[in-house]
Chains A and B, each alone.
Chain A
Amino acid sequence: MPLADHAASVPVVVDDAKCIAAKGCTVCVDVCPLDVLAIDLVRGSAYMKYDECWYCMPCEVDCPTGAVTVNIPYLLR
């Protein structure tokens, strides 16, 4: 069967003004147990690429600049 792309709201929010991915930081991407974060090379910041979050918070706690916020996924809120 052909595939469709679904849009989904994602719980992890990254503040571009604080994110230092452009300087080579990948801490949040490295620590995510579900590997759902990625670096947007054009914007130079991290973002949540896959809506597969365990809302566990290492990305937020380990971020050196406080750029990451983990929200509770909408379906659970």
Chain B
Amino acid sequence: MSTPKTETLEADVLVIGGGTGGPMAAIRAKQANPNLRVVLLEKANVKRSGAISMGMDGLNNAVIPGYATPEQYVKEITIANDGIVHQQALMAYANGSYDMIRYLDSLDVKFEKDGAGDYAVRKVHHMGTYVLPMPQGHHVKKVLYRQLRRLRIGVINRYMATRLLTTPDGRIGGAIGVNTRTSEFLVIRARTVIMACGAAGRLGLPASGYLFGTYENAANCGDGHAMAYHAGAELANLECYQINPLIKDYNGPSCAYVTGPFGGYTANNKGARFIECDYWSGQMMLEFWRELQSGNGPVFLNMTHLAPETVGEIETILHSNERPSRGRFHAGRGTDYRHRMVEMHISEIGFCAGHSASGVWVDERARTSVPGLYAAGDMASVPHNYMLGAFVNGAIAGEEAARFCAEVDLPEPDPDAIAAEQERVLAPTRRTDGLTPHEVEYKTRRLVNDYLAPPKITAKMRIAQERFAEIRDDLNALVARDPHELMRALEVQSILDCADMAAAASLYRTESRWGFYHYRIDHPETDNDDWFCHTMLFKDSDGAMRHRKRAIDPYVVPVDATEMTAYQNLRIVPAEAAE
């Protein structure tokens, strides 16, 4: 058996993932201490990787003085998540929000301003005002890239991290990666590691059946969740899935956050509003799902009533930012916002703290439960992060890691662990026949749809676990004929890990919470006596998946019981029924 070509590198701060939070973490770590060796490892190319590959059309959670206070924001996100939040982390984000906006502004990221030069903040949330449009937000990645170059951060593109390295005493020790074009290995010894690997966005199968027709950048397949799990980190509230209201078939945002402030709204097939607020929450998704079930579906985004100039402005934003090909999609179907409502649908499931709440557990200092390991962005557990949250929490992670570096030595890697990982990685290349990554992925994700998507049913989720166990055996037959296929073969292993975690976490929490995200038919009520807590999922020392409850830390912003239900009353009651 040939010995794989392996290079070894040393770093003080290793950042895995060069999308949004990762570059900012690297920038802040380097700014905190320019002498640190900061390495940014990216599966694709930092120039165009991650969720904001083509920029972003707005900030969805800007906490800007004069419009909102950190306390108001923390309260709103607490309520939107049925109370299951680590408020300290929300507050750390909220406190850093405005400074980050001004920093991005200073780097020439363009935000909408009014005639007086003030930020033109809009209301989309149920309670507060937090949306700052970015009509020219298509260049965010270029701005980040310029900073990475200026600070001379070591960028390594086209290497996929496959496992984290840990020390015998459970501290982080670095990571091992494989080149996606040559299958050469890279071992990075590191004092600290910051993970910013994005959402687990290739978990459910899109209704189109196209594996890469996902809401998330399809490169974000849950590698980060799987690596953190295998390194012994705890993952929080994974049963709180991400499920989004998206353009039917295109599977991207339509987008109510952009169109809402202009007067666009979510409507049923009669053109009538049925929800009070288009801000994404589990409760909103539950009403969306009910409308689809009721015979009033499909659900649409309606802009047909808007002035042609307004629609023109919306088109300019939506067809040049974030997912610009949506304009091309609409053109192909003859959908003109002026004359026809945009058909929407309910997405497949995923894990994403960007819009939902689950992920690798982090505290208010972006620390995971593994010393020296940090996480930020869509894969970390700070709820409703969005792009700005990835930046702020990435910055926090960078500063924390820079500080922690001074306290620890560079760990010595375990050669046996590296050899074992290389064998696991290369196994699919040693076979000439067997199962392709595509078909194993398709089957896994199809089963996720069939058995894990809400409404969640205990008997179905148990069947899912049986099927996933069979697929785990099938992994021993995976074939990769080139380095690209090997990348997909490794990704499908992460996808299967995430599918197992989704099933186990959903079975553990025997109540319903977060509207549609964790709607369990066998346990339809919310049970605050037993389940007003975080659920933590982790790999035990015997290799088994385990759970525990984690108490909610005392709130820093109190929430009245009367306010706590605000997001549970999103359905518009027709006038005659209300009388």
Contacts and interface: CB of A to CB of B under 8 A. Distances in A.
Task: Give the interface size bracket for A toward B.
Answer: 20 to 34
Contacts of A52: 211-212, 218, 488
A26 to B, nearest CB: 11
Interface stretch (B292-300, B301-309, B321-329, B556-564): B321-329
Nearest to B210: A75
B121 interface: no
20 contacts: A1-B477, A32-B45, A32-B48, A33-B45, A33-B49, A33-B53, A33-B218, A52-B211, A56-B48, A58-B48, A58-B54, A72-B325, A72-B328, A73-B210, A73-B212, A75-B210, A75-B213, A76-B251, A76-B329, A77-B329
A57 B325 contact: yes
A58 B210 contact: no
Interface stretch (B352-360, B433-441, B516-524, B537-545): B433-441
Interface string A15-49: 00000000000000011111100000000000001
Nearest to A72: B329
B218 A54 contact: yes
Judged by DSSP, the binding face of B is: loop
B332 A77 contact: yes
Contacts of A71: 328
Contacts of B212: 34, 52-54, 73
A77 B39 CA distance: 40
B180 interface: yes
A56 B479 contact: no
Which of B50, B210, B219 has its CB near the most chain A CB atoms (within 10 A)? B210
Judged by DSSP, the binding face of A is: loop
Interface string A61-77: 11000000011110111
Contacts of B484: 35, 49-50
A25 B380 CA distance: 37
Contacts of B182: none
Contact of A31 (B47, B50, B208, B487): B47
Nearest to A59: B48
Contact of B47 (A1, A3, A30, A73): A30
B209 interface: yes
Contact of A34 (B44, B47, B50, B435): B44
Nearest to A49: B484
Nearest to A35: B180
A2 B325 CA distance: 37
Q: Lowest 9 CB-CB distances: which A-B pairs, in order?
A: A31-B48, A58-B48, A75-B210, A33-B44, A55-B325, A76-B208, A54-B218, A33-B219, A75-B208
Nearest to B249: A76
A33 B217 contact: yes
B54 A56 contact: yes
A57 B324 contact: yes
A1 B435 contact: yes
A32 B323 CA distance: 14
B102 interface: no
A59 B328 CA distance: 15
B265 interface: no
Given A35-B484, A73-B210, 6 more contacts: A31-B48, A32-B44, A35-B487, A61-B324, A73-B213, A75-B210
Contacts of B242: none
A16 B8 CA distance: 40
Nearest to A30: B45
A22 to B, nearest CB: 20
